[in-house]
Amino acid sequence: MNRRITAALLLALAALCARADDGSGLWLPADRARDGMGTLDIARAEVEGIADVVFRIAAGALPGNAGPDGYAITRQDGRIVISAASPVGALYGAYHLQRLARTGGIPVEPDIRESPRYDLRLLNHWDNLDGTVERGYAGHSLWQWDELPGTLSPRYRMYARANASIGINGTVLNNVNATPQTLRPDYLSKVKALADVFRPYGIKVYLSVNFSSPVLLGGLDTSDPLDDGVAAWWAAKADEIYRLVPDFGGFVVKANSEGQPGPQDYGRTHADGANMLARALAPHGGIVMWRAFVYDPDSDDRAKQAYDEFIGLDGLFDGNVILQVKNGPVDFQPREPFNPLFGAMERTPLMVEFQITQEYLGHSEQLAYLAPLFTECLRSDTYARGRGSTVAAATDGTLFGHSPSAIAGVANIGLDDNWTGHHFAQANWYCFGRLAWDHTLTSDGIADEWLRATFSDDDGFVEPVKRMMLSSREAVVDYMMPLGLHHIFAEGHHYGPEPWYERAVRPDWSSVYYHRAGSAGIGFDRTSSGSGATGHYFSPLREIYDDPSLCPENLLLWFHHLPWDYRLANGLTLWDNLCLRYQAGVEAAREFQKVWDSVEDKVDRQRFLHVQERLRRQARDAVWWRDACLLYFQTHSGMPFPPGMERPVYDLDELKRIRLDLKHHN
Ligand code: GCW
């Protein structure tokens, strides 16, 4: 045989053996359900071939207060029994069984009882009608607005299935920077088409709305929430929506924030605005999720503003309004303390908003497993009603009894074949859903099941890769902004470092605003003698945060401005500690490359190479971060690099010239 043909055949054979996998299947087995199936039929299809299952659905099928989404899995007369109060509960039970089958097997005598901690478990898409995605790093928007409602992409049902499999039960389709067009009749018919696909999977649709819609879309001369005509316009709009989508979930609103319109444009409060919309939705059972992400350039400290703006409104919101609060007081940074609004507004339901898309944690270029970040926030003790008043307890209904309880994550999903750009970013979608269902799950446990279902059940693969995942967020913190530093990103894209950035259009968009480095030291003084932000926390946290010797070191420069030669617990100076943390982050990123190479024979070629290439970039960019930050801070500290730190490989001037073109990400 001709040599060339033999070689080609061998190559083809090798390719077959090396099993290509583009990651499009996520953590799920092959789909046996079909378009048009109802919820219970989907549940049956999902367990086909896994076990002999009987479904029992009845109002009283579960003991206690399990709610419509709860389920139990037991065995009777040799058959697995999934009991639930509703078909959606049964579907969740089916996915639980599927998960067991893929991650170690179904126990002989299962005795599983589950019900979610949060009633509403939502994704927020920051997708625009033109197909771009704000802070999206996985290609264009999934929603094909031009083709809807006539053509339904097969990915819509796959998306619904993936979400249902991890317990997500709602999706906000469009960007919180909302265009009024979303509420036009033609777009509403597209929204209806999506809602129809998602419904059998237990997923409700919500929309972000622009507060000025009555003017911009309705032709009214005001959007004042206290104007009767405005209220009537919204009520009619709500009626129109519910005629098309009878189980529509409600609205998300970003008002008077970053240039968005809002009630303050008319001298009204956030409560006036939220309540007016809430009254339009209330007859239909809809809710308003009103975002607390507000800040204006004139304040002395951006971290105080959401609190200052909303704390006085506690108790003034209607019953179907939930305040949607970002996990930290600034903006989804690699590390922030929890937002002090949690626990502080007893008479208002609050929900946490996390960011799954990695705007500030390396986009979809870098591996950063976010379950440690999410759990760190949820398990933070607010001390609102003494010890044990965690952020989770303050938001899941247990501490203050609010209902419904809710949690949201800004989605990292796009049209990329693997949905999330980086294969490991799928784990962040996954862990958000799992934690929204049960915030007591561990980062380790969730990584374990995700790895086994997604890649391989081989312990030789799972153990090292899981360790890499578990340390990845801390590595990112270390090489980007350790010891409580924050928001020292390059202008605009938020991928690389730009600690020297000072000429922003607003001071609170510059980096120097946040790190305040100078010859006297570094850090933001938020103590009682500084901006006073520590006073927003309950005792004993306010005293702990106020005192640099008590403040957790990982938040030190968030709360304190300290001299470069200030000594930390290990006896070394602040400067040396800073240098060594950056160095540790770089080393961790390099270690990830070694870990990944060590499991090469346990992963399909396609995903192996893809992740390998990203890890290389991550290690390189970690060095960029370290050198940029330390060389720049050294111009202020004037101190030498400590012995344990590798010397910079770049020049500061060279790094200052870098201009990333990240447009292709949007
Ligand atoms: O994190 C910032 C982002 C904006 C975003 C805003 C928000 C949707 O940089 O892109 O806008 O937060 O959460 O509203």
Per residue in 499-510, pLDDT tens? Answer: 999 988 888 999
The minimum-distance atom of ligand 1 relative to the CA of 331 is 1
Q: Residues with beta carbon inside 6 Å of ligand 1?
A: 126, 134-135, 176-177, 254, 258, 293, 331-332, 359
Is 46 annotated as catalytic?
no
Atom of ligand 1 nearest to the CA of 176: 8
User: Could you confirm whether 331 is annotated as catalytic?
Assistant: yes
The ligand 1 atom nearest the CA atom of 254: 14
Element (DSSP H or E) covering residue 321: strand 321-326
What are the residues whose beta carbons fall under 8 Å from the beta carbon of 116, sequence distance 6 or more? 67, 69, 70, 167, 436, 437, 438
Distance CA 633, CA 564 (A): 10
The token duo for 351 is 């929900």
Mean pLDDT, residues 84-103: 97
Number of Cβ within a 10 Å radius of residue 107: 11
Helices (H) and strands (E) in the chain, counts: 20, 12
To test the pocket of ligand 1, the residue of 135, 137, 291, 333 to mutate (highest count of ligand atoms within 8 Å of its CB) is 135
Per-position DSSP letters for 420-482, written without gaps between them: SSSGGGHHHHHHHHHHHH-TTS-HHHHHHHHHHHHT---HHHHHHHHHHHHHHHHHHHHHH--
Q: What is the mean pLDDT of residues 260-277?
A: 98
Ligand 1: residue whose CA is nearest its atom 1:
331
Q: What CA–CA distances, in Å, run from 162 to 67, 419, 442?
A: 22, 11, 21
Q: From ligand 1's centre to the CA of 127, what distance in Å?
A: 12
Across the chain, mean pLDDT equals: 95
Task: Give the distance from CA 613 to its chain's centroid.
Answer: 24
Q: Mean pLDDT check: name the lowest of 108-122, 288-302, 375-389.
A: 288-302
pTM of the model: 0.96
Residue 399: which residues within 8 A CB-CB, separation 6 or more? 343, 384, 385, 389, 393
What is the distance in A from the centroid of ligand 1 to the CA of 330?
11
User: What does the pLDDT look like over 180-196, one tens digit per residue?
Assistant: 999 999 999 999 999 99
The reported pLDDT for the residue numbered 110 is 96
Q: Which amino acid residue places its CA nearest to atom 13 of ligand 1?
A: 293
Q: What is the pLDDT of residue 59?
A: 86
Strand partners, 326: 353
Q: How many CB atoms lie within 10 A of CB 89?
A: 29
Dist. CA 573–CA 577, nearest whole Å: 6
Written in H, E and C, the secondary structure of 84-148 is ECCHHHHHHHHHHHHHHHHCCCCCCCCCEEECCCCCEEEEECCECCCCCECCCCCCCCCCCCCCC
pLDDT > 90: percent of the chain: 92
Say whether pLDDT at 453 is over 70.
yes
pLDDT digits (tens, 9 = 90+) for 15-59: 444 457 999 999 999 999 999 999 999 999 999 999 999 999 998
Q: Give pLDDT tens digits for 330-383.
A: 999 999 999 999 999 999 999 999 999 999 999 999 999 999 999 999 999 999
Closest approach atom of ligand 1 to CA 177: 8
Kindly report the number of other CB atoms within 10 A of residue 178's CB atom.
25
Q: Which of 35, 130, 258, 543 is catalytic?
A: 258
Cα 481 to averaged position of ligand 1 atoms, centre (Å): 20
What is the distance between the alpha carbons of residues 38 and 24, in angstroms, rounded to a whole number?
A: 24
Report the atom number in ligand 1 closest to the C-alpha of 326: 13
**Distance between CA atoms of 273 and 270, rounded to whole angstroms?**
5
Q: Cα of 78 to ligand 1 centre, how many Å?
A: 53
- Give the pLDDT band (50/70/90) at residue 64: confident
Ligand 1 centroid–CA 489 distance in Å is: 14
- Give the distance (Å) from ligand 1 centre to CA of residue 162: 25
pLDDT digits (tens, 9 = 90+) for 526-537: 999 999 999 999
Give the pairing type, strands 71-76 and 79-84. Answer: antiparallel
**Given pLDDT bands bounded at 50, 70 and 90, which one contains residue 264?**
very high
Q: Which atom of ligand 1 is nearest to the CA of 257?
A: 14
Distance 357 CA to ligand 1 centre (A): 11
User: Ligand 1 center to residue 576 CA distance, Å?
Assistant: 34
Question: Which distant-in-sequence residues (6+ apart) come within 8 Å of 571 by Cβ?
Answer: none
Q: Answer yes or no: 239 catalytic.
A: no
Ligand 1 pocket test, candidate residues 132, 172, 179, 331, most atoms within 8 A of CB: 331
Q: Could you give the CA distance from residue 658 to residue 282 in angstroms, rounded to a whole number?
A: 52
Output the CA–CA distances (angstroms, integers) from residue 102 to 22, 51, 468, in the order listed: 19, 12, 22
User: Quick one: CA dihedral 472, 475, 479, 480, positive or negative?
Assistant: positive
296 phi-psi bin (left φ>0, alpha ψ -120 to 50, beta other): beta
Cβ-contact 291, 285 below 8 angstroms: no
Distance, in Å, from the CA atom of 666 to the CA atom of 664, rounded to the nearest integer, reads 5
Residue 5 has pLDDT above 70, yes or no: no
Tokens 């979809």, residue located: 364
Q: Using the predicted structure, report yes or no on whether residue 1 has a pLDDT greater than 80.
A: no
Pairing of strands 350-355, 287-291: unpaired
CA-angle at 57, arms to 56 and 62, nearest 5°:
90
Tell the residue nearest (CA) to atom 11 of ligand 1: 177
Find, among 125, 128, 136, the residue nearest to 171 by Cα: 125
Of residues 359, 474, 546, 627, which has the active-site annotation? 359
Burial 336-355 (b: 16+ CB within 10 A, else e): bbbbbbbbbbeebbbbbbbb
Greater pLDDT, 638 or 5: 638
User: Which of 331, 416, 525, 576 is flagged as catalytic?
Assistant: 331
